[in-house]
Amino acid sequence: MGDGNMTVKYLSLREFGEYIGVTYNTIRQYYLLGRLPEPDVEIGARKVVRGWSVGRVESWQSKRPRKEMQRLKSGSETFCEKE
């Protein structure tokens, strides 16, 4: 039998984006703009790695307003959200 320890898996920022179906650049922008929930864990001193539980991601996703994502081309790729 086990010793009672459970391994907990957290999603990285990239995995968070994949889980909800957006690109890394989009999820990174969401993070930089403060649109994501606080991470469940932060590991490291110099280079901090953040992690979100699947439960937290699903909860955030279920409460988030549904917005249509539209890609615009104007020299560089930009993402706009329309209500």
Q: What are phi and psi of 78, to 5 degrees?
A: -130, 150
pTM recorded for the entire structure: 0.70
Distance in angstroms between the alpha carbons of the first and the last residue of the chain: 53
Instruction: Please report the pLDDT score of residue 32 as a whole number.
Output: 95
Instruction: Please report the pLDDT score of residue 7 as a whole number.
Output: 87
- pLDDT tens digits in sequence order for the chain, 83 residues long: 566 778 889 999 999 999 999 999 999 999 999 999 999 999 998 998 999 999 999 999 998 876 534 333 333 444 444 33
- Per-domain boundaries in the chain: 13-82
Q: Using alpha carbons only, how large is the chain's radius of gyration in Å?
A: 16
